[in-house]
Amino acid sequence: MGKTLKADGDVWRPVPGGPSQREGYRTVVFLCQSNGQRPYRVAEVPSDDSEGDAFLDRISARDLGELFDRSVSLGAPAS
């Protein structure tokens, strides 16, 4: 099942996303596992040419939490 993260009162599972619209970046998508009413969240990370699963396997719990904190709902920039 992979890593999970507890944040905002729910359990989230990060999965590899596709390439970002910004050159040299890719996306990580956070899917809410504990509440089907929550929208997904998206964060950008610098691309290191590794497979998405390998990147997520290497990231620490602390870095994963920081990445979640930078994510935005539905991938839309905050206004």
In order along the chain (79 residues), what is the average pLDDT of each group of 10 residues?
88 91 89 93 86 83 94 75
Give the chain's domain count.
1
Is the Cα torsion angle 58, 41, 34, 7 positive or negative in sign? positive
Given a contact cutoff of 8 angstroms between Cβ atoms, the answer to whether 7 and 16 are in contact is no
Give me the domain span that covers residue 50. Answer: 5-24+35-73
Residue 29 falls inside a structural domain? no
Residue 67 falls inside a structural domain? yes
According to DSSP, the β-strands at 25-32 and 10-19 are antiparallel
The whole model's pTM is what?
A: 0.87
Residue 15 falls inside a structural domain? yes
